[in-house]
Amino acid sequence: MNSSIALKRLVFAVAVLLVFALSTANAAVPIPAPPKIAAKNFILVDAQSGRLLAEKEADEQVEPASITKMMTAYVIYREIAAGRLNMDDMVNISEKAWRMGGSRMYVEVDSQVSVHDLMKGLIVQSGNDATVALAEHVAGTERAFVDLMNQYASSMGMSNTYYMNSTGWPEEGHLTSARDIATLAVAIINEFPEHYAWYKEKVYTYNNIKQYNRNKLLWRDDSVDGIKTGHTESAGYCLVASALRSDMRLISVVLGTDSEKERASVSQSLLNYGFRFFETHRLYAAGEVLNRSRVWKGESDKVSLGLKDDLYITIPRGSYNDLEAVMDVDANIVAPLEKGSQHGAVRVTLADDEVLNAPLVALEAVGEGSFFQVAKDHILQLFN
């Protein structure tokens, strides 16, 4: 074959491959159905956008077992944030706490243990004794502490949740759902990132007894950094897992599997599915000025509009360049304006389908203008 002809064919073939590569580089990856896993209930969500990626009977009320301790920890974090509790506070260990069965930290009756150590025992070792000791220290009795747990659950919209104790010990009426657990997980991660780091600790030694975190994914997958396991005969084997890969955080809740091995493997399957076929982006930052709009009858004739919270979106992988965002700004904005008042919306579409709608709010207050300014703008508005 003539060498020049062979060279031309090679150049043509390379060109075809380049065109194909460029045309498919940003193409969305086809999304298969979520994996079918051996769990009675499950849910997979993005922690930042809140996007639901997979679910099965996610609103069915079920026993949470030791996953209950996530809410116990959340209440403790709120007490610390409010200044009513410190990590170095010492806690008296009651006989009730000492006698708790199941998973234990092995604290000794009538001893004093710091909140710091008890929280490690609750999170890493799932200690029922540590959990009851903390509940009694915060609220006087475990029952009073449970009232706090239920109040926080209600305030977060966990409508399928009602707690009867702080540990997850089987008790009639002690129920939650996979969706509610995911809501709680997002709150723990987003509201208390400084405390969340403890959930990835694999080992904790107290009283010369070394115990290992029961979340097996901490050893299998470096991106997994929490959160909580649970098991009773009636609840089965449960796992709430969270993983962070390339600034995308997913949360899976798996309930009612048959073994420790199975709860880990099915959780891994859900997480891998989410990361493989979806991507999450922050579109706009909280407080970022997205629009400067005309204000009538105000001490200022302009107001900055933006978003109250960061705006995240989870979309099929490869479809980012197909997103379109438009701002619908109120045509007639009249002072006085309060900071945070809504004056429009940001709408995001993908393939002509609206996937997000977030309120545009005033980023600063605008007071009413002088008599002269109000009168002048009134006349101008009549002409407009």
Locate 2 and state its tokens. Answer: 């003539």
In angstroms and rounded to an integer, the radius of gyration of the C-alpha atoms of the chain is 27
Residue 49: active-site member: no
Catalytic: which of 49, 66, 177, 267? 66
Catalytic: which of 49, 69, 166, 267? 69
**For residue 352, is it left (φ>0), alpha (ψ between -120 and 50) or beta?**
left
Burial per residue of 248-270, b for 16 or more beta-carbon CB atoms within 10 angstroms, e otherwise? bbbbbbbbbbeeeebbbbbbbbb
Locate 59 and state its tokens. Answer: 């609103």
CA 237 to chain centroid, in Å, comes to 22
Nearest to 236 by CA among 213, 199, 262: 262
Locate 41 and state its tokens. Answer: 């209930």
The DSSP symbol for 176 reads B
Catalytic: which of 94, 103, 126, 252? 126
Cβ count within 10 A of residue 8 = 11
Nearest to 149 by CA among 180, 109, 104: 180
By annotation, the residues acting in catalysis are 66, 69, 126
